């Protein structure tokens, strides 16, 4: 039965139903829909809009529907959308009392409420998975804390750093995602219910009460905005998109560092794939697939932004398009987060190779310049002198590590014997003790702080 068939003299065309119905996908909102209705009917009873015994009947009916769907006894089909489905089922179960559930409510404020309830749950799942991932990154940071690796800029070796610094950088990104999710969830917890179709209602309802029953922060302040606002969908998709951006960068680094050319990481066999023709291959399909899924999640963000950009106030059917992208993004992001959290601790750090790489290609050159600057040479001049040393090394096939103190002294009288100790990768990394720097001591402090901050969520 259609909720609106009274005005119509002919039944809907089959094609209209196929095109218009949302039950095939909004059935995912069944829990949220029943929760919303339970709060609404409790408030209606409390405010005397419907009789207490009617409210009780409706409540019992809704609870029995919830239990039946939960146990798989009730198939979600045969209605236009989840809201119609639940209401039809309610009337079938409790009779005329059920017809009062929709008092002081419209499907417009109902669907906006249901979807917010759903998204708030989705934030909880994201938060759990993000925390888990940060846990794995901390495991890796602790594993890497004793070792050095090269840090890069422009994908050229730049400066040695404690290997834990690399993993901590990603923890910081995901901590920001956790914070962002929490902030967006606060804005999502503003209740549209009671906005009616668009203009509110003449019944003596108490929207604060409904908000409290549902654990929302407050009712929305403007009914017209309440039924048409889908910012919370765009925000959720933005949160997902940025998580995917961070994951994708991590994937790219993992792929790169596990190549034969870099050889800093080895992904264990359980999380690698092979080739049907090249027997020697061990491929990083997991991070590649994740990097690929990033585009798909960005696409969902772009879709909702485009969908809402020209929708006149208030509700228009365009807004039914808000759901499928979010459902897919949520699914993709959660699976990426959990697979990454699982795969990470199964990466072996090839510490010797990392250490060697951190001492090659003049990774320690900044420290030579700093050495001179600390002995009184203005940094710009120290930079130029070190540049000459590097050029001399290249021309004479030497390295900063196999230069003798005498070789250094030819470039400046400020050099002493101790310069040879300065150009070791571990020494260079561990000298960077500034707050947030790449020294082992700073990285340890960073790990402690990450653990403390992630525990807040
Ligand atoms: N299935 C609709 C949606 O998802 C529910 C709201 C319908 N409201 C309406 N006025 N047709 O947006």
Q: How confident is the model at residue 68 (pLDDT cuts 50, 70, 90)?
A: very high
How much of the chain exceeds pLDDT 70, in percent? Answer: 100
Where does 145-216 have alpha helices with state H?
Answer: 163-188, 207-214
Question: What is the Cα–Cα distance from 407 to 214, expressed in whole angstroms?
Answer: 75
pLDDT at 3: 86
Instruction: Indicate if 236 and 209 belong to the same structural domain.
Output: yes
Is residue 75 pLDDT above 80, yes or no? yes
Q: How far is CA 72 from CA 65, 76, 89, in A?
A: 11, 9, 15
Dist CA 129 CA 331 (whole Å): 12
CA distance 343 to 197: 48
Give catalytic status of residue 275 as yes or no: yes
Considering the domain architecture, whether residues 391 and 417 belong to the same structural domain is answered as yes
97 & 112 share domain? no
Ligand 1 centroid distance, CA of 359 (Å): 63
SS (H, E, C) 329-367: HHHHHHHHHHHHHHHHHHEEECHHHHHHHHHCCCCCHHH
Instruction: Report the CATH number that the domain containing residue 334 is assigned in CATH.
Output: 1.20.200.10
pLDDT of 1 above 80: no
pLDDT of 2: 87
Question: Is the CB of 319 inside a 6 Å radius of any atom of ligand 1?
Answer: yes
Catalytically annotated residue among 15, 154, 202, 276 = 154
pLDDT the model gives residue 297: 98
Q: How far is the CA of 337 from the centre of ligand 1 (A)?
A: 32
Q: What pLDDT, on a 0 to 100 scale, did the predictor assign at position 5?
A: 85
Q: DSSP letters of 428-441?
A: HHHH--STT-SSHH
pLDDT surpassing 80 at residue 50: yes
Residues 275 and 249 in one domain: yes
> How many structural domains are present in the chain?
3
Looking at the fold, whether 172 and 279 belong to one and the same domain comes out as yes
Query: For the segment 378-392, what is each residue's pLDDT rounded down to a tens digit?
Result: 999 999 999 999 999
Overall average pLDDT of the 55-84 stretch? 98
Confidence at 311, pLDDT banded by 50, 70, 90 = very high
Both 410 and 275 in a single domain? Answer: no
Same domain, yes or no: 27 and 171: no
C-alpha–C-alpha distance, residues 228 and 312, integer Å: 9
Write out pLDDT tens, residues 194-226.
999 999 999 999 999 999 999 999 999 999 999
Same domain, 96 and 145: no
Query: What residues are paired with 161 via a beta bridge?
Result: 149
CA-to-CA distance for 189 and 222, rounded, in angstroms?
15
CATH number of domain containing 28: 1.10.275.10
Question: Which residue, judged by its Cα, is nearest atom 7 of ligand 1?
Answer: 107
For residues 275 and 322, membership in a common domain is answered with: yes
What local confidence, expressed as pLDDT, does residue 366 receive?
98
Q: Is residue 262 part of a domain?
A: yes
Are 250 and 304 part of one and the same domain? yes
| Arithmetic mean of pLDDT, 385-401 | 98
Q: Is the pLDDT of residue 447 over 80?
A: yes
Domain that holds residue 15: 5-103
| In a domain? residue 329 | yes
The answer on pLDDT for 64 being more than 90 is yes
Return the ligand 1 atom nearest residue 319 CA.
Answer: 12
């Amino acid at each position: 039965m259609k909720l609106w068939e009274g005005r119509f003299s002919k039944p809907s065309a089959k094609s209209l139903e196929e095109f218009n119905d949302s039950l095939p996908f909004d059935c995912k909102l069944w829990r949220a829909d029943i929760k919303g209705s339970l709060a609404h009917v409790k408030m209606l009873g409390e405010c005397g809009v419907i009789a207490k015994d009617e409210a009780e009947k409706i409540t019992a009916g809704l609870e029995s529907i919830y239990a039946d769907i939960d146990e798989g006894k009730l198939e979600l089909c045969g209605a236009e959308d989840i809201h119609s489905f639940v209401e039809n089922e309610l009337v079938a179960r409790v009779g005329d009392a059920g017809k009062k559930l929709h008092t002081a409510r419209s499907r417009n404020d109902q669907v906006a409420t249901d979807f917010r309830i759903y998204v708030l749950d989705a934030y909880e799942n994201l938060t759990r998975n993000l925390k888990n991932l940060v846990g794995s990154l901390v495991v890796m940071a602790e594993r890497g804390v004793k070792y050095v690796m090269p840090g890069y800029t422009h994908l050229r070796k730049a400066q040695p750093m404690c290997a834990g610094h690399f993993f901590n950088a990603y923890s910081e990104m995901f901590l920001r995602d956790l914070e962002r999710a929490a902030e967006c969830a606060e804005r999502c917890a503003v209740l549209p219910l009671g906005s009616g179709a668009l203009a509110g209602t003449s019944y003596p309802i108490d929207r604060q009460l409904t908000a409290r029953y549902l654990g929302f922060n407050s009712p929305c302040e403007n009914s017209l905005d309440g039924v048409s606002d889908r910012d919370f969908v765009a925000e959720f998709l933005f949160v997902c998109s940025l998580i995917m951006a961070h994951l994708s960068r991590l994937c790219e680094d993992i792929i790169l560092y596990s190549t034969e050319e870099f050889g800093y990481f080895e992904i264990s066999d359980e999380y690698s794939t092979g080739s049907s023709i090249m027997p020697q291959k061990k491929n990083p399909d997991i991070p590649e697939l994740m990097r690929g899924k990033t585009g798909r999640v960005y696409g969902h963000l772009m879709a909702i932004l485009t969908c809402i950009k020209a929708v006149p106030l208030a509700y228009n059917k365009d807004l039914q398009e808000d759901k499928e992208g979010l459902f897919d993004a949520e699914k993709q992001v959660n699976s990426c987060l959990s697979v990454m959290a699982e795969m990470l601790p199964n990466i072996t750090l090839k510490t010797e190779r990392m250490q060697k790489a951190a001492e090659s290609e003049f990774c320690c050159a900044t420290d030579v310049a700093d050495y001179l600057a600390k002995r009184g040479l203005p940094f710009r001049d120290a930079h130029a002198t070190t540049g000459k040393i590097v050029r001399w090394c290249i021309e004479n096939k030497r390295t900063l590590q196999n230069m003798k103190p005498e070789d250094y002294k030819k470039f400046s009288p400020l050099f002493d014997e101790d310069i040879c100790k300065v150009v070791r990768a571990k020494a260079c990394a561990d000298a960077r003790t500034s707050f947030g720097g790449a020294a082992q001591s700073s990285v340890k402090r960073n790990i402690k702080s990450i653990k403390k901050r992630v525990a807040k969520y």
